Amino acid sequence: MRRFLDVARAVAWRSIHNTIVSPAILLPSIIFPLFFLVAFAGGLSKIGDVPNFDYPPGYTAFQFVFVFLQSAAFGGVFTGFAVARDFDSGFARRLLLSAPRRSGIIAGYAAGALVRWFMTGTVVTLAALIAGMNVGGDGVDLVGLLGLGIVVNFVAALWACGVAMFLRTEQAGALIQMPVFVVLFLAPVYVPLRLLTGWIRSVASLNPATAVLEAGRALLAGSPVKVALSFALLTGGAALMGVFARRGLASAERAG
């Protein structure tokens, strides 16, 4: 266990250090969520006036939850880019040779992803509050929303690490990002599920991200629903992606 923690700590520190000293890594992870928050909460604010919208905190809060959880997911995705970049540079192969407990490599990258997302999530939250976002939930509800974000970030980081370790090239970027993007945007992004129609409603009803979004929005409004279901889905996703990431690591080990 000590060797596992030593490897995880070293990889996490390197990931965090690279994020802090390299604006090219940090800024996109902050700018993109802010852009979505302005575009959705500001440019589409009139959607909050449609009949039966019925979200008491208002449209800014409604969209904030999506952007908050999206930033968590893409914080994990960006870690996959870093893993792929490390393989292209040759660093990851040297790391595989030197690490006494290689599973700590995945844990380190995931920990780095979480710290990077904390930076992004803090900026997005402050921006939403400055924009006048209403918060209906209490401290417990907000901790629950933060918990959802943490687990979403973890699941996405495991997925991204797995793909990056299987393919071991920066050209894997599209494959790392696109499935996460599709899953998020096939959920009720702009209006509640009950206001969707046609095929998009059918798909959104089956999309696990829908339950997570609804739980996050309910927590922010102070009327929790589907919270246990959301954490159960995310825990299952984390277990599945953990196996996937470990197999990706085994593939990288075999490739040398």
Does the CA dihedral 169-174-178-180 come out positive or negative? positive
CA–CA distance, 227 with 219 (Å, rounded to integer): 8
> Given CA atoms 224, 226, 228, 232 in this order, what sign does their dihedral have?
negative
pLDDT band at 74 (very low <50, low <70, confident <90, very high): very high
**Tokens matching residue 72:** 């968590």
CA 238 – CA 233 distance, rounded (Å): 9
Question: Residue 247 — pLDDT band, cuts 50, 70, 90?
Answer: very high
DSSP letters spanning 96-151? HHH-SSTHHHHHHHHHHHHHHHHHHHHHHHHHHHHTT------HHHHHHHHHHHHH
Percent of the chain past pLDDT 90, that is, above it, reads 60
At 222, phi and psi to the nearest 5? 85, 20
Length of the chain measured in residues: 256
The CA distances from residue 13 to 86, 106, 188, in Å, are 15, 13, 36
Domain ranges of the chain: 2-255
| Per-residue pLDDT at 143 exceeds 80 | yes
Whether the pLDDT of residue 57 is over 80: the answer is yes
Number of Cβ within 10 Å of residue 252's Cβ equals 22
pLDDT of amino acid 256: 64
Phi, psi of 4 (to 5 degrees): -60, -50
pLDDT-derived band at 127, boundaries 50, 70, 90: very high
Please, which pLDDT band fits residue 32 given cuts at 50, 70 and 90?
A: confident
Q: Kindly indicate the confidence band of residue 102, based on its pLDDT and cuts at 50, 70 and 90.
A: confident
Q: What is the pLDDT of residue 27?
A: 81
Cα angle for residues 82, 83, 85 (degrees, 5° grid): 65
Burial 108-119 (b: 16+ CB within 10 A, else e): bbbbbbbbbbbb
Share of the chain above pLDDT 70, in %: 100
What is the average per-residue pLDDT within 10-32? 83
- HSE toward the beta carbon, residue 194, CA cutoff 13 A: 7
Q: What is the pLDDT of residue 1?
A: 74
